[in-house]
Structure 1
Amino acid sequence: MRNLLISILALSFLQIFVHGQDDYCFGKDTERLQTRHFTSKTAYQIIKGTHIEKEYLVPGCKPKKMWILHRHGTRLPTTKTIKAAPRLDILRDEIVKNYRVRRTRPDTNALCQEDLIFLGMWKWNNSITVDQEEYLTSQGYEDLKGTAKTYQRYYGDILTKNYNNTYYKFRHTNTQRTTESFKAFVEGLFGQNNNVQPEPIPEQDLLLRPYDYCESWRAHDYSSESYKFKHSAIWNKTTADISKRLGFQYSLESMDVELMWDMCRYEQAWHVDRTSVWCSVSKI
């Protein structure tokens, strides 16, 4: 009877321990707003708010003129990331295998069961090919339309709903993502059937692409801050911590960790209504 009681207590303790570990799921976290933490990859729909009204509408002052220098909307990855993306299928299988072989969670900060299941179901979209590198996504298009409508709502006296080419001037750079972003922005202002014509793209665009003519910017040598950071102790520790929580007995290559992180922030910007499985993987 005593042995039976000890066994029951041990089993109860084990269940509490396991359930305690499973309490936190990245995909269900409603307190940490992960969708806002991806710098230039963050979807505008996620981070825009009422700051325009609070900060820029000055009592007693009426706006007369406006300049907007705007970044393009959410885009597809670079050629380098698209070519490397199939590697994620391999990493997915290795992570799932790590958890299955051990039959226990490799680390107290590890993936919960639900995050692991969604990771196992993930597949790279093979329709995204290198000929579409950095193309604007449908989410990016909608973001720019919505941004234009937001500006128009707050500055209706300037951004009237009627277009004429003497009152408005638009420019964009010579890429698909900026051309489509321009189309989305003017559609947000004037509707789908507008006749807006942008200014000609100059041969040397010092206004919108000054970095193309800055040697310091173009030179990426071993003294750069990015290089120093990626060879620092904190970088190595972060890579080791991520590898451990994914069940690996060794530290993953930096390129693998960066690839998982890139896919996390790309997917989070493409699909704002759900959390990317790669965000749960690359979290520490």
Structure 2
Amino acid sequence: MMNVLFKIGFVLSVVILLITGYVIVIYRSDQVKDSQSVSYCYAQDPSPPKRFSTKTVYDFDKHRNTRKPTLPTNCKPVKLWTVIRHGIRLQQTDEVQSLQNDLPKMQQEIVENYEKKTYKSGLCEQDFNNIRNWKLDSLVSVDNSFRLSDSGAQQMAELADRFRRDYSSLFDFPCSDKNYLVHSFLNIGVTKSRNIFLDRIFNYTCSKNLKEISLVYDERFSSSMDFPEADRFTETLLVQEMLLNIGEKLGYNATRLNWTSVKLMYDMCRYDNAWQSNKLSPWCAVFTAEQNRLFEYHEDLSCYYEYGYGNQNSKYVGCRMIKSMIYYFMDIASSELNEPKAILIFTHRGAMEALFVILNAKKDPYVLRGDNFEYATNRKWKTSDNIPFSAHVTVTFYSCDDNGKYVQFILNEEPLELDFPGCVQGICPWQSVLLELRPALLFCK
């Protein structure tokens, strides 16, 4: 009997030790996990993420010493055609209420979650304090919607300096309608960007006297304002796990954050980053680098189906710009007519995306979908690279002493690779460009 009791007692002791050890392991594991979750401080990150899709700030430093491919010395630029996206702007009208009302409520909830004794936040103390002390910029109002920010004005001026540097021979002519033609949307952010650019590049001499052709929104874009693939992406396991992890990080244990709430924090992060790029946005501390890539893909999907390859009407809108460029260059190719020296088009990102479509540029060999995020990691269709604020496509016509004629395509100061015969690093024979793009003119109204 004693032997039996001894054996039972021994077994129970082993079980208790095993259970206790398991609990200790779990506790230590949780301690390590919790310690790891706060070991990173966004506020102290020397290289925080800067890629925010269509709200990305143009990286002038990246291109400061960029050397564009050049043609032989016997070739000279004779005409310039360019499409320029507006500079950094303020929020859209439909975002104002959420930023004014919903985000401060979430801020308060995060503070309350952090201060609960039973909760250990996934934020480091400095990141938490930055969120607690955050205040919405007074510029966020309906009256200021779509306006150019101060940082946007500064960047447009710097962009004009770059144009003056890189295309100096084409901007040394008298500032007149004969030499320069301007097209522009009438949106307040676009017109302000245009005015700053023109004032700067012409040294405040005559830009307000240039005749301007107003552009209007093409209603054919409106036929595809539903983005099922982007919505489908938000339902994937990757995104749902992200929402769960962010909720846990911010202390939402009883309730679960939804996509709309987390997206609002992300939007504030990238607006803050754009408006004051010399400061770190407290809201960016919420997201890891991988989570930023998920948001980037979501916006890439939206743009792909709004103005890009996923919208069958994009080619009709893009062809209007191509028609302008082709006819403009045909003048110099077929005769001595060398005016105007430049056509400057100031517009929105949608026009640039439609331009990519008609040029067959930035096109991937597969269709972007809501379920192929991992597969599309190295995609060409990346809005952070292609259409940041102040993005621009410049197309320059070169005439050579041996009667050779070339066209150079540049996107954001880098060669725009095109799959046209004879094209190398964005430099194409004129006849190749004409043959490839002439069919687009046939369906252009």
TM over 0.5: yes
TM-score normalised by length of structure 1: 0.80
The partner residue of 2:274 within 257, 269, 278 is 269
Q: Which of 57, 62, 68 is the matching residue for 2:82?
A: 68
Distance 2:197 2:211 in 1: 12
Q: Is the 8 A contact 2:173 2:179 kept in 1?
A: no
- Change in CA separation of 1:259 and 1:21 when aligned onto 2, cut-off 3 Å: closer
Give the drift of 1:214: 2.9
TM-score, structure 2 as length reference: 0.53
Aligned residue number for residue 259 of structure 1: 264
Note the C-alpha offset of 1:46: 5.4
Distance (Å, rounded) in 2 between the aligned partners of 1:161 and 1:268: 38
Is 1:44–2:84 an aligned residue pair? no
**How far did 1:198 drift?**
4.2
Conservation of the 8 A alpha-carbon contact between 1:82 and 1:128: yes
Deviations 1:208-267 (A, max 9, x none): x44x323443x316xx21121122222211111111111111321211111101111111
Aligned mate of 1:28, from 44, 47, 69: 44
Cα distance in 2 between the residues matched to 1:181 and 1:275: 25
Query: What SS does structure 2 have at the residue aligned with 1:114?
Result: helix
Alpha carbons 1:75, 1:177 under 8 Å: kept: yes
Work out the CA distance in 1 between the residues paired with 2:126 and 2:195: 40
Partner of 2:96: 82
Which residue number in structure 1 is paired with residue 326 of structure 2?
Answer: none
Change (3 A) 1:46 1:113: farther
Q: Which moved more, 1:78-87 or 1:224-233?
A: 224-233
Identity %: 25
Measure, in 2, the Cα distance between the counterparts of 1:161 and 1:119: 52
CA contact (8 A) 2:151 2:275 kept: yes
Aligned-partner Cα distance in 2 for 1:102–1:47 = 45
Quote how far apart the aligned CAs of 1:164 are. Answer: 2.3
Q: Shift in Å at residue 62 of structure 1?
A: 2.6
CA distance in 2: counterparts of 1:142 and 1:45, whole angstroms: 13
| CA–CA distance in structure 2, aligned partners of residues 40 and 161 of structure 1 | 34
How many residue pairs match? The answer is 255
CA gap of 1:23–1:147, structure 2 versus 1, over 3 A, is same
Amino acid at match of 1:79: T
**Residues 120, 189 of structure 1: CA spacing in aligned structure 2 closer, same or farther, 3 A cutoff?**
same
Question: Which one is further off, 151-160 or 96-105?
Answer: 96-105
Give the deviation of 1:166 after TM superposition.
1.2
Query: Corresponding residue for 2:220?
Result: 213
2:153 is matched with 141
- For residues 146 and 281 of structure 2, the distance between their equivalents in structure 1, rounded to whole angstroms, comes to 19
Which structure: larger Rg? 2
Q: Distance in 1 between matches of 2:148 and 2:129?
A: 30
Question: Contact 2:113 / 2:119 at 8 angstroms: preserved in 1?
Answer: no
1:86-145 deviation per Cα after TM superposition (whole angstroms, max 9, x unaligned): 211111111122111136633xxx221111111111111344211221111111111111
Task: Report the RMSD for the aligned CA atoms in angstroms.
Answer: 2.6
* 1:54 counterpart (41, 48, 67): 67
Specify the code of the residue in structure 2 equivalent to 1:269: A
| Contact preservation (8 Å) 1:161, 1:189 | no
Contact residue 22 and residue 112 of structure 1 kept, 8 A = yes
2:251 is aligned with 1:247: yes
User: In the TM superposition, what is the alpha-carbon distance from 1:21 to its structure 2 partner?
Assistant: 5.9
Partner of 1:67, secondary structure, is strand
Q: Identify the structure with the greater strand proportion.
A: 2
For structure 1, the residue ranges without an aligned partner over 5 or more in a row are: 1-12
